[in-house]
Amino acid sequence: MKLALGPLLYLWKRAEIGEFYRQIASTPVDIVYLGETVCAKRRPLSGADWAGIADLLAAAGKQVVLSTLALVEAKSDLAAIRRITRNNRYPVEANDMAAVQMRLESTPFVAGPHLNIYNCRALGVIRRAGAMRWVAPIELTAGALDGILESRPEGLEVEVFAYGRMPLAFSARCFTARAHHHPKDHCETVCDQYADGLLISAQDGAPFLVLNGVQVQSARICSLLLDLDTLRDLSVDVLRLSPQARHMPEIIRIFRDAIDGVITGDAAHKTLLRYAPADLCNGYFRGSAGMEQCV
């Protein structure tokens, strides 16, 4: 199984992003998704900056994929996606049908986790449209994945979200701006104050969700380290690890060692607890509520 680093879901400073990917270049990750998927108003890096990072990672032997926005409304959003889909160098991750439509009859693309592929026939459609890899929706159970892959299209790679705070929802409303009493049109990109998102808790203090601009994430961290055998049985090709502000190289190493059998899944899970910034969960994959941790 290969390891992929998912797109950075938060707004970090330009220098932090550069430093982060310089570190990633020397980690045992095989694929790196780059670019903004959450909010078009975030522009910490220019196109040239991203290209520089992409080239650095490609030179380090990583497969680079350029990710695109999940909620596409404005003409400027479409223009941004069109620019990315027209790059001749790197494959593109489509997170909205707009990107699929632009990519049709062009070069292969990655069908991102927000495209809602839940059955064999839908997977066939997206394969015919040119998908080379499919990232399963986060809420898909192992059982449903098994059923879908019974008629897996020839040559299609399958990727599963295996580590990180899960992107659960998108809205037109910016929840981080709302928390600061700013209207979205004058948000002052306050989301840059929260390197791992803004935690909200229930009134009894239990951590509940994380606000990340127009995106809502799980407060708990998904980890499928206890499910590696099942993932292998399903012939999943790629595990996606979602970036967090600290310890990402260590987390990548833990997953690599667990996949390679250097350490057991149980031992890896225990080590991971040191580096995960919140409780872990794997409920979706086990067919339970997403927030639950099943052993």
Partner 1 sequence: MGHGTPHGQWRVTKLELVCPAGSLPALRAAIENGADAVYVGFRDGTNARHFPGLNLDPEEMREGIRLAHDVNAKLFVALNTNPIPGTWERATRHLHIAADLGADAVIIADLGLLDYAAEHLPGLRRHLSVQASATNPEAIAFYARMFGVRRIILPRVLSASQVKDIVENSPVEIEVFGFGSLCVMVEGRCALSSYVTGASPNVSGVCSPACAVRWEETKNGRNARLNGVLIDVYGPGESAGYPTLCKGRFRAAEEIYYAIEEPTCLNVLDLLPQLSLAGVTAVKVEGRQRGPAYVAHVTRVLRSAIDACTANPATYCPDRRWISALDALAEGRQHTLGALDREWQ
DSSP letter (8 states) at residue 137: P
The two structure tokens encoding residue 229: 């055998």
Query: At its nearest, how many Å lie between partner 1 and the CB of residue 278?
Result: 14
Name the residue with tokens 């809420």. Answer: 139
CB-nearer residue toward partner 1: 27 or 37 = 37
Q: Which DSSP string corresponds to 1-51?
A: -EEEEPPP-S---HHHHHHHHHHHTTSS-SEEEES-SS-TT--SS-HHHHH
CB-nearer residue toward partner 1: 220 or 256 = 220
DSSP letter (8 states) at residue 140: -
CB-nearer residue toward partner 1: 29 or 174 = 174
Query: At its nearest, how many Å lie between partner 1 and the CB of residue 13?
Result: 21
CB-nearer residue toward partner 1: 20 or 118 = 118
- The Cα 99–Cα 110 span in angstroms is 10
Residues comprising the chain, all counted:
295
> Strands, DSSP E only, in 60-145?
63-67, 92-94, 109-111, 131-135
| Alpha-carbon distance values, 172 to 39, 72, 183 (Å) | 10, 10, 12
Are residues 66 and 54 in contact, defined by beta-carbon separation less than 8 angstroms? yes
Contacting residues for 90 by C-beta, under 8 A, at least 6 apart: 54, 58, 64, 65, 66
Query: At its nearest, how many Å lie between partner 1 and the CB of residue 248?
Result: 23
DSSP letter (8 states) at residue 185: G
CB-nearer residue toward partner 1: 2 or 178 = 178
DSSP letter (8 states) at residue 173: S
CB-nearer residue toward partner 1: 211 or 272 = 211
Name the residue with tokens 């220019």. Answer: 46
Query: At its nearest, how many Å lie between partner 1 and the CB of residue 34?
Result: 22
| Alpha-carbon distance values, 275 to 38, 160, 184, 253, 262 (Å) | 25, 21, 33, 12, 19
Query: At its nearest, how many Å lie between partner 1 and the CB of residue 37?
Result: 12
Query: At its nearest, how many Å lie between partner 1 and the CB of residue 102?
Result: 6
CB-nearer residue toward partner 1: 202 or 262 = 202
Four-CA torsion 125, 129, 134, 139, nearest 10 degrees:
-50
Query: At its nearest, how many Å lie between partner 1 and the CB of residue 168?
Result: 5
Query: At its nearest, how many Å lie between partner 1 and the CB of residue 117?
Result: 7
CB-nearer residue toward partner 1: 45 or 100 = 100
